[in-house]
Amino acid sequence: MPSARGTYWRIILLLLFCSIGGFGAIIFSRRPSNDRRWAADHARLPEVTFVDTLIRIANVRNFQYRSADSFTVRYDTRTYDLTKLESVWFVLAPFSTSWRGPAHSFVSFGFSDSTFLAISVEARREEGESYGVLAGMGRNFELIYVVGDEADLIGKRAGFGEFDVYLYPIRTTMDRAQAVLLNLLAKSDRLRLRPQFYHTVTNNCTSNLVASVNQVAPGRIPKGLKLVFPGYADEVGRSLGLIDSTLPLEQARARYRINDAARRAMGRPDFSLRIRDQFR
């Protein structure tokens, strides 16, 4: 006959397995939705229309920030001419000074009329909700592609954030740049009809950018452990020749850190040009 101690541990293990199974059942029964009470900065999804070389985007986010938590809500409708695309930029914002791993990354596209369009893949938060790395693994956030003005997407992070923000020029052909932009905008628009869950590791800011690049240029960014930690994305990008700089990594980070320039440029109509003055 089994001992009382053995029976006790079997009961404990059974309860543990049932708890894990029940928790998993709850998590996987959740379905993504666009119908929630969203935080103000995630309230609207972009709506994209393509006509020949013109791209019309409704709900381009253009918040005006007085501080990280005080802002005027503003969404615009803008039209971009794909043939005027002339540059691509990679934005990296680490979340820590002690360990570079956790970070947010996104891209911005520059046009010959001195306008810029930033695209940031994020965990879509509800009112009163805060992002968490562990929470992001449990179907707690939907996915959103925030399409917005650099003064908003870069300005908030570099102008009012506590961590460094880097703005790196990308080396690519304009054909590929156009294809990546179209790929990202098409994905952003599809989320209006088919929402998805965000995932900290498998469906995050960096993984979505990598997927779009590799769909345009298969294998351009190989899989690797460092891609799981977005804070090393500049190191990976430099090693692959994607970042347009011959400087050693630490010197490149010093050159392309834009916090001071962003703070000086906040509220100015030429924000995007001013944060690039130091690169000339």
Q: Is 224 helix (H, G, I), strand (E, B) or coil?
A: coil
pLDDT score recorded for residue 68: 86
Least confident of 13-27, 29-43, 55-69, 109-123: 13-27
> Binning pLDDT at 50, 70 and 90, where does residue 14 land?
low
Least confident of 20-24, 176-180, 216-220: 20-24
Q: Evaluate whether 21 touches 29 at the Cβ level (below 8 Å).
A: no
pLDDT at 100 over 90: no
pLDDT at 18 over 90: no
Least confident of 6-10, 82-86, 119-123: 6-10
> Binning pLDDT at 50, 70 and 90, where does residue 237 land?
very high
Average pLDDT, the chain: 91
Domain boundaries along the sequence of the chain: 1-30, 35-43+84-279
Q: CA 161: distance to chain centroid?
A: 16
For residue 127, give both structure tokens: 């009112």
pLDDT in tens, 164-213: 999 999 999 999 999 999 999 999 999 999 999 999 999 999 999 999 99
DSSP class of 125: P
Angle at the Cα of 191 (from 176 to 86), degrees rounded to 5? Answer: 25
User: Residue 145: which of 47, 65, 33 has the closest Cα?
Assistant: 47
pLDDT score recorded for residue 26: 46
Q: What percent of the chain has pLDDT over 90?
A: 81
- Give the pTM: 0.89
- Average pLDDT of the segment spanning 243-254: 96
pLDDT at 271 over 70: yes
More confident residue, 230 or 107: 107
Q: Evaluate whether 254 touches 278 at the Cβ level (below 8 Å).
A: no
